[in-house]
Structure 1
Amino acid sequence: MSHVWSDEIDEISRRQRFAELLGGEDKIRRQHENGRSTVRERIVDLLDDGSFEEVGALAGFATRADDGSTVSVMPANFVFGLGEIDGRRVALGADDFTIRGGAADASIMAKQVDSERMAGALRAPLVRLVEGTGGGGSVRMIEDAGYTYVPANPGWDALVENLSLVPVVAACMGPVAGLGAGRVAMSHFSVLIEGISQMFVAGPPVVKHATGETLDKEQLGGAEVHRRSGAIDRIVPDEKAALQAVRDFLSYLPSSVHDVPPVIAGIEPTTSSEGLADVVPRNRRQPYRLRTILDAIFDGGSNFEYAGFGASVYTGLARLDGHPVGVIATDPYKGATMTPNGADAMTRLIDLCETFHLPIVSLTDQSGMQIGLAAEKSASIRRGARAVVAAYQARVPMAEIIVRRVFGVGGAGQVNRHRFNRQWAWPSGDWGSLPVEGGVEAAYRADLEASDDPEAMMKEIHDRLEVSRSPFRTAERYGVQDLIDPRRSRELLTRWVRDAYRVVPEQVGPPSFGTRP
């Protein structure tokens, strides 16, 4: 049956088929041979079945016949639209590497800008699947255009605004450089795939020309570079894990700062609380397994590592009786001090929680900021102080369980100790201005030098101090709110989080200060 607009309706369908061809069979085959899916395959894998509503599918670069009719259209290499993840509306923008390697000279920048504006306008979480440069294109564009321009990062007013408005996730799905790397950094959570994706400000040819360094993509910006660089939050083994990390991360957060975090049915922990009575050794120099504590306190399967570059400083998301919370702790097998990178990880988590109204649980075991020449060269004190400022600026409810150590500026500032936060300490608690083990020789040096038996005197001093440093002495002076049986930790935190979530709705809205990457 013929309609008035039948020809145009058929043309819409024809042009939609062009969009689905991407860069053509050869480029799609090459993408697969390099171990990477195409942009449209990723969208299918990430979103709920049939939920993707594409915007701007017909945008591209047409080939015309002599009579002006359209022979074909090469689609723009950026795909965006709306979809759902676990039934919740999200915005998605994804690069197509099969067309000019994801470069901007095969894109229509208005699409990328609109993906950012759409997320903000609809208050929908934004997922960026980044692959390629996404910047100003190649140098050949200068000759083609006949002029150069003063750069302005396209749409970055929207990128900056979104950081304080909606959750933003960026996954490196292949090589990422230039403006593409900037789009990854401008997120609340970033993912890189080991052996598949790399991220750098400029690629190997530019680096070789500028610095003389001869490096391949993996050496310049692969997983080993970014495992501790602080530029990437999570390293994963494959695309499937990357997309799952995106889904998992978003599950803890509200759709925007104008909503409260999603509360779901609680799940019992995977590990019995009975083991918490034995997890911390009496020998203060002996480490313990942080995972045992996390698995015994928080809902089963809910522990999600966040900024994985923090070394000894663990930052994560979890649920208490179904309520999302941020978690700060220490992994003693990776160290006891707050490293500069660890301070950055702590700052990043606290800022995330403040932006999206997640209460924070601190499982405190902090022996202070890292010391030594390497630490000083890395601005240990400034970066540590910045983490402390983040803790003090945050308005969200905080609770603290002192697992073991609280020493120095780092330990003192892991939570805001100048407002009321619920606090419990385990009998393994050990605190002060600095660890006794490192301070006895300095404090009693003259006495020890004058003694006929310094070793015996040292033991006598330690024995005296051991009595005074008992956590019960601190509790007597209300230096700590409560000493508890470690096995009660989940029970008490669950009660607290229910109280915290009565306060959270009063804090919805933009954060107290603009969120920075």
Structure 2
Amino acid sequence: MSWEKSIEELRRRERLAEKMGGEEPVERQRGRGKLTVRERVAFLADPGSFHEIGKIAGKATYSADDELEAFLPSNSVTGRATINGESVAILADDFTVRGGASDASIRGKLIMMIKMAAEYRMPLVQMIDGTGGGGSVKSLEQDPRTYIPETPGWDEIVHGMSQVPFVSLALGPCAGMGAGRVAASHFSVMVKELSQVFVAGPPVAIALGENVTKEELGGWKIQAQNGTVDNVVDTEADAFITARRFLSYLPPSVHDLPERTSPADHPDRKEESLLSIVPTDGKTPYKPRKIIDATVDHGSFFEIGKEWGRGIVAGLARIDGYPVGILAGDPFFLDGAWTADVCDKVTRHMDLCSMFHLPVIHFVDCPGFAVGVKAETAGVTRAGVRAMTAVYQADVPVCSVVIRKAYGLAGSVMMNQSRTKWRYCWPSGDWGSLPMAGGIEAAFRKELAEAEDPDALKEQLYRKFEAIRSPFRTAESFLAEEIIDPRDTRPLLVDFIHHAWRTLEPGVRKVGYRP
């Protein structure tokens, strides 16, 4: 006697599961230009590394003599794999089974993978394609009652996000719980024209009086520009590459430190272009990404959130092989002023870096918080104070490189200035409680009004205060700790990161109240 017959039955059920929703739904999926769930897992994971869990879970139909007649698998494929050689938990939706709706799901699979990721300290990667929430009205025919809403597993999501990286790839229409899972992540990606993210789809919006398409309601131009998702790519293959690259900078959990890779760039490299990259007129914008690329390890900058909060550039990079977080003011957008969405972006990025123990390099160019009715209507004051609090709550070292402007409250949030100021200033530095331009006219309004030659007096005042605002005057009082040759920036950042790494301690982050 042996169990060979049972193993044959197991293999038969596994083959049925591999058919997913069936021939016709699979063809429809491919006809939309989408990969199937099993193709996605194969592309994302290291070759041959995926170990599936719950493969034969689903809905079975039996004959009168209890023989299996038909089998429809659950609409999620779950398991463990490796990405870049590191273990991850994978939770992937199958749109070919009831469009990813909850009446075809087994919630235990989702909850188990989230628990496994947190308990066994490995990142969770979700490939989301469907609703995954309360199902459709049609499902009430099978279960003729309504219910008071709850979200099983959300406590596990909240806990899991405090433990391990959550990465969400939106690979189709993501509605309800599907949209919630996209947003409940440390990093999320959409595919142009293929994925949409919304609380409820067009039929619900139409019933409420808005006649819109899926793309108009929740396409990438909306969700990437409002910060609901972080990055946008052109193809599913790009989404998998992006997820793998993001994870390469992070530790597997908060209980570990990020991994240093073998340096592929000389630590003492000095770029001549840095000496002239900032225009001497103090007004003309420059491209901050060129400064980033010239100072971090060659080709290592990975930008996050490019489409929103565009007054600041955020991302990850490596310096001498060590992973770091990057912030850089972008004067091409309102001169780098911090609008409400810029503040939200700073808050989110500082939280990411602090949670996963990444020191931060902040290339500072900030004329202050955005001013005006539009900025105030958007809530810049509250968002700004939250960003300030997030910077001060961060428990990782921050090195600030003051490139040009640093004015007002927002200009002060280059680091937690109650701690040791590891800071370098370029000769182009321009700082104060408020900009000279306009400030002189306001402060000397009476004198200018009474002067015989107001223009000559204004010119004289500007010359006087131009001398006062010299960064060398600030350095004389040790209020600018070091003014450096811009070409020395990279070697100094390499020095910083070696010192910063000694201070890092793994563990769960504890954050206090935010206004």
What corresponds to 1:493 in structure 2?
493
- Please state how far the C-alpha of 1:471 moved relative to its aligned partner: 0.2
- Please state how far the C-alpha of 1:236 moved relative to its aligned partner: 1.1
Distance 1:232 1:377 in 2: 23
What corresponds to 1:233 in structure 2?
230
SS in 1 for 2:286: coil
What corresponds to 2:379 in structure 1?
379
2:249 paired with 1:248: no
Distance 1:108 1:291 in 2: 45
What corresponds to 1:287 in structure 2?
285
Q: Contact 1:325/1:360 (CA < 8 Å) preserved in 2?
A: yes
Residue in structure 2 matching 1:224, options 221, 224, 230: 221
SS in 2 for 1:251: helix
Distance 1:350 1:433 in 2: 24
Q: Contact 1:116/1:162 (CA < 8 Å) preserved in 2?
A: yes
RMSD between superposed Cα atoms in Å:
1.5
- Please state how far the C-alpha of 1:458 moved relative to its aligned partner: 1.5
How many residues are aligned here? 511
Per-residue deviation, residues 205-225 of structure 1 (Å, max 9, x unmatched)? 111213x11000000000111
Moved more, 91-100 or 137-146: 137-146
Structure 1 residues 449 and 515: CA distance shift in structure 2, 3 A: closer
- Please state how far the C-alpha of 1:267 moved relative to its aligned partner: 2.3
Per-residue deviation, residues 163-209 of structure 1 (Å, max 9, x unmatched)? 11000000100100001111111100011111110000010111121
What corresponds to 1:132 in structure 2?
130
Per-residue deviation, residues 5-59 of structure 1 (Å, max 9, x unmatched)? 1111000000000111011121111111111111111111110000000000000
Distance 1:269 1:369 in 2: 37
Counterpart of 1:456 in structure 2: which amino acid?
A: A
Distance 2:264 2:292 in 1: 14
Q: Contact 1:172/1:198 (CA < 8 Å) preserved in 2?
A: yes
What corresponds to 1:265 in structure 2?
262
| Counterpart mapping for 1:359-508 below 5 A | 359-504=359-504, 507-508=505-506
SS in 2 for 1:310: coil
What corresponds to 2:355 in structure 1?
355
Residue in structure 1 matching 2:117, options 99, 106, 119: 119
Distance 2:55 2:125 in 1: 18
Per-residue deviation, residues 477-502 of structure 1 (Å, max 9, x unmatched)? 00111000000101011011011111
Distance 1:226 1:414 in 2: 28
Q: Contact 2:270/2:490 (CA < 8 Å) preserved in 1?
A: no
Structure 1 residues 515 and 110: CA distance shift in structure 2, 3 A: farther
Distance 1:315 1:417 in 2: 21
Q: Contact 1:307/1:349 (CA < 8 Å) preserved in 2?
A: no
Counterpart of 1:334 in structure 2: which amino acid?
A: F
Moved more, 318-327 or 59-68: 59-68
- Please state how far the C-alpha of 1:140 moved relative to its aligned partner: 2.0
Distance 1:367 1:331 in 2: 11
Moved more, 259-268 or 214-223: 259-268
Distance 1:269 1:188 in 2: 31
SS in 1 for 2:142: helix
Per-residue deviation, residues 435-464 of structure 1 (Å, max 9, x unmatched)? 111312211111111122222222111111
Structure 1 residues 418 and 389: CA distance shift in structure 2, 3 A: same
TM-score normalised by length of structure 2: 0.97
Moved more, 53-62 or 65-74: 65-74
Q: Contact 1:303/1:319 (CA < 8 Å) preserved in 2?
A: yes
2:327 paired with 1:328: yes
Distance 1:316 1:222 in 2: 23
What corresponds to 2:147 in structure 1?
149
Counterpart of 1:257 in structure 2: which amino acid?
A: V
- Please state how far the C-alpha of 1:341 moved relative to its aligned partner: 0.7
- Please state how far the C-alpha of 1:269 moved relative to its aligned partner: 7.5
Distance 2:398 2:392 in 1: 11
Per-residue deviation, residues 108-129 of structure 1 (Å, max 9, x unmatched)? 1111111111111111100010
Counterpart of 1:260 in structure 2: which amino acid?
A: L
Distance 1:163 1:398 in 2: 23
SS in 1 for 2:152: coil
Q: Contact 2:114/2:157 (CA < 8 Å) preserved in 1?
A: yes
